[in-house]
């Protein structure tokens, strides 16, 4: 932590502000830190804790004596205090009886900001957006996750096109994180049993507005070298490490809340990685003298389980030998036989040798949901065997479509434009379809100028990265070409940016390479395609797909119109979703549970070109973007051909001509009409505010009533 004496008294709360990630979605708060030292702000990676750590005292003294800076500082601190102490939040007004009852939200990863890189992708970004919206709306939420000091990997692409992974240790002194009070005293650690050994855990605290996020860390001297590394990285592919991580997260998370005297009424498990927390609560109930059957009912009533898995292979499944090795004490504690215990994680007789974490979640939660309308249908079919004799349509798995935290993802340039035409309080009412209707009144030329500026920011960022690699001697000419060194600021820009996986079909658009070359190299109507994304370190098939894309990006015949940008993270995601003209998404049908990157693109005026899967199946209205393909029943190889043909036809006949059809002011008025419709239709329906209101009304409130009613 920083020494308080370094910061002048007049601006002494800078440290408090820096250590609450509230600043990450409030532009004026970020402006405070930018004003201290803008070059240092850039070098810090937009991390105010590191900025203040590195800044000289003379700069802080100068800021304290600058009336303009002090005025900005005072206004931000006033807004911060108002948010932190608000009593009339949406949740407290709508559900006063629940306003002081904690909701425990467990997730394997949380993506709040790049200054705390403990996330891998969409699941973490969703969890982060949920925490931010919980803060904004006043939900009494507490988050439980892992402190991954090495985080997810940093990506480098070799000259041969292969992904290489490197890990960097987090500098805790330069991150918006502090030791939880329960871990500050020497030797004051949580302790759990992993099989026959004890594991010790220290706890870190992250402040996300009004929400406290607690992160478990096994890197303590009391543990063996092997056990200290259990919490080092996300999503290890080694099954024994994975089950140990999930036991620590679930069981350790419950014990942490008990140690902090936090008494959640509602327990929300985000995906199967976290559901051992329900098993630990089940053990507690039986230990109190409750029968196993009654304990199951009591735990289920208070538990929400959200599944993000549209295919059986996507869930965590462990051999029963590992479950028995590390959880054998639970069978005795629950006073049940082996078959009953293992059956908690088994769907039917065919699964006697495995233990399925999604099955455990579905069996121990009364309130279960998928994450889009279509995924709800898929989940009911996928897990129907758990409810024999129940019609598939009546399987008790509902759906709440994901949403994105609008204040975090809207570009500042668009924020100002929305303020001018939707009203100064638009951000507080961005879920209101009536307010968003005023988007249609924004002058076409003004919106087009902002869209051009955002595309240029994206291209400038990519060019700067490529130039830096060239200047440092870390890349040859072909690599720099593949990195996007020849991208143009005014060309139609398509982005494909997401985790690389086979089902997402990153190479689909290359089905007919010669046809694609003709499309992108048209001198009068140029098109460029930017790829970004990481493959899981153990997924060799997707690594090969990434290599194919990277190699094609270096093909001179594409004239530099294909680019692959390394090290996809939250910061790059913002530039891409804000700067793209077209957001390309082409997963195999019924294999993407929701997807949220396209929502972020739409609220910034990018237009989706997507398979009608996940959220786009309900978001597409025929006027706000394009749908790929029309034959969901086709065989896999035929579907690939058909969908690729659909993409080419849409680009050639509709998208490219539409983008370059300009009026006398050089404004593509038809294109802007679709941009406006995308913003108008997507923002209110697919924002995190709508999502959290759905969770509150359809999941949290029934769970609360069930628990309190049974008590």
How far out from the chain centre does Cα 110 lie?
7
pLDDT band at 182 (very low <50, low <70, confident <90, very high): confident
For 174-210, give one letter per residue: b (16+ CB within 10 A) or e.
Answer: bbbbbebebbeeeeebbebebeeeebbbbbbbbbbbb
b/e 539-553 (16+ beta carbons within 10 angstroms → b):
beebbbbbbebbebb
Residue written as token pair 């693109």: 601
For 370-381, what is the mean pLDDT? 97
Confidence of residue 4 (pLDDT cuts 50, 70, 90): very low
Give the dihedral sign, CA 628/574/603/488: negative
pLDDT at 634: 63
- Predicted local distance difference test score (pLDDT) of residue 630: 73
10 Å CB burial of residue 170 (0-12, 13-18, 19+) is middle
Position 617 confidence tier, pLDDT thresholds 50, 70, 90: very high
Measure the CA–CA gap between 272 and 364, rounded to whole angstroms: 11
Structure tokens at 53: 């750590």
pLDDT in tens, 43-92: 999 999 999 999 999 999 999 999 999 999 999 999 999 999 999 999 99
How many CA within 13 A on the CB side of residue 501?
Answer: 13
Tokens of 297: 């009912």
Tell me which residue has tokens 């690599």.
479
Report residue 181's pLDDT band, with 50, 70 and 90 as the boundaries: confident
- 589 CB-contact burial (10 Å; exposed 0-12 / middle 13-18 / buried 19+): buried
Question: What percent of the chain clears pLDDT 90, i.e. is strictly above it?
Answer: 88
Q: What is the pLDDT of residues 404-420, one digit of tens each?
A: 999 999 999 999 999 99
Q: Taking residues 307-325, what's their average pLDDT?
A: 91
Within 8 A by CB and 6+ apart from 690, the residues are 403, 431, 684
Beta-strand relationship, 582-585 and 492-497? parallel
Q: Is the dihedral of CA 21, 416, 90, 272 positive or negative?
A: negative
pLDDT at position 149: 83
Q: What is the per-residue pLDDT for 632? A: 61
CB atoms within 10 A of CB 343: 18
Pairing of strands 266-270, 354-356: unpaired
Report phi then psi at 625, rounded to 5: 160, -160
Q: Among 439, 595, 613, which residue's Cα sits nearest to residue 122?
A: 595
Mean pLDDT across 144-165 = 92
For 627, phi then psi, to 5°, come to -105, 135
**How do residues 165-175 score in pLDDT, each as one tens digit?**
999 888 888 99
Stretch (H or E) spanning 347: none
Q: Is the pTM of this model over 0.85?
A: yes
From residue 369, alpha-carbon distances to 594, 695, 698, 700 in Å are 12, 10, 10, 12
Are 559 and 532 spatial neighbours (Cβ–Cβ below 8 Å)? no
Give me the mean pLDDT over the 665-693 stretch: 98
Q: For position 633, what pLDDT does the model report?
A: 57
- How far apart (Å, rounded) are the C-alpha atoms in residues 488 and 467? 15
Integer Cα distance of 282 and 639 in angstroms: 46
Q: Provide the β-strand partners of residue 34.
A: none
Q: Which two tokens stand for residue 303?
A: 């538990």
State the angle between helix axes of 292-301 and 701-710 in degrees (0 to 180), rounded to the nearest 10.
140
If you average pLDDT over each of 117-126, 635-644, 670-679, which comes out highest?
Answer: 670-679
**Is the confidence at residue 207, as pLDDT, over 60?**
yes
- The C-alpha torsion from 467 through 472 and 475 to 480, rounded to 10°, is 0
Distance CA 31, CA 104 (A): 32
Per-residue model confidence as pLDDT tens digits over 456-469: 999 999 999 999 99
**Could you give the CA distance from residue 61 to residue 348 in angstroms, rounded to a whole number?**
68
Residue 233's pLDDT band (boundaries 50, 70, 90)?
confident
- Give residue-wise pLDDT tens across range 514-570: 999 999 999 999 999 999 999 999 899 999 999 999 999 999 999 999 999 999 999
pLDDT at residue 365, rounded to an integer: 98
pLDDT grade for 504, boundaries at 50, 70 and 90: very high
Q: In this predicted structure, what is the pLDDT of residue 635?
A: 67
Structure tokens at 691: 């999502």
Q: Is 148 exposed, middle or buried (0-12, 13-18, 19+ CB in 10 A)?
A: buried
Q: Provide the pLDDT confidence category of residue 2 given band limits of 50, 70 and 90.
A: very low
Q: Is 283 in contact with 255 (CB distance < 8 Å)?
A: no
CA-angle at 140, arms to 136 and 146, nearest 5°: 95
**Closest to 137 in 3D by CA, of 194, 95, 189, 195:** 95
Residue 3: predicted pLDDT: 44
Tokens of 396: 């008790």
Q: Is the pLDDT of residue 455 over 90?
A: yes
| Confidence (pLDDT) at 1 | 42
* Residues whose CB is less than 8 angstroms from the CB of residue 596 and which lie 6 or more positions away in sequence, other chains included: 122, 125, 126, 129, 402, 403, 404, 615, 686
Q: What is the mean pLDDT of residues 84-112?
A: 96
Average pLDDT over residues 471-499: 94
Q: How many CB atoms lie within 10 A of CB 708?
A: 14
């Amino acid at each position: 932590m920083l020494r308080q004496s370094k910061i002048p008294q007049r601006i002494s709360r800078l440290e408090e502000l820096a250590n609450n990630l509230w600043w990450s979605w409030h532009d004026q708060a970020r402006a405070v830190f930018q004003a201290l030292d803008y070059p240092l702000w850039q070098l810090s990676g937009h991390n105010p804790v590191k900025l203040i750590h590195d800044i000289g005292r003379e700069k802080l003294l100068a800021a304290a004596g600058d009336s303009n800076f002090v005025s900005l500082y005072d206004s931000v601190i006033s807004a911060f205090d108002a948010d932190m102490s608000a009593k009339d939040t949406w949740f407290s007004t709508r559900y006063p009886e629940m306003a002081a009852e904690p909701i425990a939200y467990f997730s394997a990863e949380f993506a709040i900001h790049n200054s705390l890189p403990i996330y891998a992708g969409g699941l973490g970004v969703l969890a982060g957006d949920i925490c931010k919206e919980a803060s904004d709306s006043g939900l009494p939420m507490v988050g439980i996750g892992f402190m991954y000091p090495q985080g997810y990997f940093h990506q480098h692409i070799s000259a041969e096109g292969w992904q290489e992974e490197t890990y960097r240790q987090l500098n805790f002194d330069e991150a918006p994180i502090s030791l939880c009070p329960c871990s500050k005293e020497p030797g004051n650690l949580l302790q759990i049993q992993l099989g026959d050994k004890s594991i010790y855990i220290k706890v870190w605290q992250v402040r996300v507005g009004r929400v406290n996020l607690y992160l478990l860390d096994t890197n303590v001297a009391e543990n063996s070298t092997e056990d200290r590394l259990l919490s080092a990285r996300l999503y290890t592919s080694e099954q024994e490490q994975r089950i140990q991580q999930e036991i620590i997260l679930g069981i350790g998370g419950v014990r942490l809340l008990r140690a902090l005297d936090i008494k959640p009424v509602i327990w929300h498990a985000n995906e199967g990685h976290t559901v051992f927390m329900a098993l630990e609560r089940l053990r507690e109930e039986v230990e109190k003298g409750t029968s196993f059957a009654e304990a199951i009912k009591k735990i289920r009533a208070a538990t929400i389980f959200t599944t993000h898995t549209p295919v059986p292979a996507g869930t965590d499944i462990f051999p029963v030998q590992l479950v028995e090795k590390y959880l054998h004490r639970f069978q005795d504690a629950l006073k049940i036989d082996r078959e009953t215990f293992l059956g908690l994680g088994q769907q039917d007789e065919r699964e006697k040798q495995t233990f399925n974490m999604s099955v455990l979640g579905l069996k121990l939660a009364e309130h279960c949901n998928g994450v889009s309308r279509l995924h709800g249908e898929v989940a009911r079919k996928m897990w129907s065997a758990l409810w024999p004799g129940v019609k598939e349509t009546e399987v008790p798995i509902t759906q709440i479509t994901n949403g994105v935290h609008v204040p975090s993802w809207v570009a500042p340039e668009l924020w100002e434009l929305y303020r001018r035409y939707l009203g100064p309080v638009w951000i507080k009412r961005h879920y209101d379809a009536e307010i968003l209707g005023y988007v249609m009144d924004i002058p076409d030329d003004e919106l087009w100028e902002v869209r051009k500026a955002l595309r240029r920011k994206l291209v400038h960022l990519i060019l700067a990265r490529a130039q830096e690699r060239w200047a440092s001697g870390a890349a040859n000419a072909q690599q720099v070409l593949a990195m996007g060194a020849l991208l143009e600021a005014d060309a139609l820009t398509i982005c494909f940016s997401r985790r690389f996986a086979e089902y997402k079909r990153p190479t689909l658009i290359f089905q007919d390479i010669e046809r694609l070359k003709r499309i992108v190299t048209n001198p009068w109507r140029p098109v460029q395609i930017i790829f970004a994304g990481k493959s899981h370190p153990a997924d060799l098939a997707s690594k090969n797909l990434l290599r194919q894309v990277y190699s094609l990006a270096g093909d001179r015949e594409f004239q530099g119109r294909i680019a692959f940008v390394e090290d996809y993270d939250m910061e790059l995601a913002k530039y891409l979703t804000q700067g793209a003209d077209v957001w390309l998404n082409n997963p195999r049908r019924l294999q993407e549970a929701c997807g949220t990157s396209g929502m972020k693109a739409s609220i910034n005026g990018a237009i989706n070109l997507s398979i009608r899967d996940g959220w786009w199946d309900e978001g597409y209205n025929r006027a706000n973007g394009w749908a790929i393909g029309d034959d969901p029943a086709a065989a896999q190889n035929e579907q690939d051909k058909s969908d690729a043909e659909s993409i080419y036809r849409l680009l050639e006949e509709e998208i490219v001509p539409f983008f370059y059809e300009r009026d006398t002011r050089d404004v593509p008025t038809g294109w802007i009409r679709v941009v406006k419709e995308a913003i108008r239709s997507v923002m209110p329906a697919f924002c995190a505010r709508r999502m959290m209101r759905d969770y509150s009304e359809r999941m949290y409130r029934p769970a609360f009533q069930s628990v309190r009613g049974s008590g």
